[in-house]
Amino acid sequence: MVLEEFIGIAAGLLTTIAVLPQIFKAIKTKEVNDVSPFMFIILCGGVGLWTVYGILKMDWPIILTNGISFILNAIMLYIVLVSSKNKVKA
Amino acid sequence: MVLEEFIGIAAGLLTTIAVLPQIFKAIKTKEVNDVSPFMFIILCGGVGLWTVYGILKMDWPIILTNGISFILNAIMLYIVLVSSKNKVKA
């Protein structure tokens, strides 16, 4: 494998899983007051568009990394929105 | 401009600026307890590697979007680390 390919795969892997520690922390502590929902709205928009870009180019690495990233960021956005809705009710 | 190029530029722009709302929220509220530092450590690693990838391929869009993203995520990581250090002292 060429060095470039290795770096590209490692970079894609890291940026895809980056949101996982934030999801685990939010589930564990049930506290997300300090987390900005707008960050995850914009991230979902961005990686969503990267997924469309990958589909238009039929580039599977781009489709997979950004597709998974979209799902994970959407989960985090859901956690933040549900939590702030519950806070309004309380 | 081809549709693909437009979508790629929009996607790159969104994923680059995504961390800005979190930085503004952290500066405004001075609270980052619920924010995971590991997310930003992994993100810095990922976009850092994407920047190296762009340099190896001499691909300026990849270098610019990920280089700026690296700086912004490093700023957010600094805010989280400094804040948790201050909390330890208090």
CA distance A4 to B81: 31
Identify the CATH number of the domain in which residue B70 sits. Answer: 1.20.1280.290
Angle of helix B20-29 versus helix B60-89 axis, rounded to 10: 20
CA distance B9 to B7: 6
List chain B pLDDT tens, one digit each, 90 residues.
Answer: 788 889 988 999 999 999 999 999 999 999 999 999 999 999 999 999 999 999 998 988 889 999 999 999 999 999 999 998 877 665
A82 touching B (Cβ < 8 Å): no
CA distance B63 to B41: 19
Contacts of residue B33 in chain A, CB cutoff 8 Å? 31, 34
* pLDDT tens digits along A57-90: 898 888 999 999 999 999 999 999 999 887 766 5
CB distance B34–A32 less than 8 Å?
yes
CB distance B34–A39 less than 8 Å?
no
Phi, psi of A34 (to 5 degrees): -85, -5
CB distance B49–A3 less than 8 Å?
no
Amino acid residing at B27: I
CA distance B7 to A76: 24
* pLDDT tens digits along A3-46: 888 998 899 999 999 999 999 999 999 999 999 999 999 999 99
* Domain coverage including residue B81: 3-89
Predicted-complex ipTM score: 0.87
Q: How many domains does chain A have?
A: 1
> Nearest residue on chain B to A38, judged by CA atoms?
B21
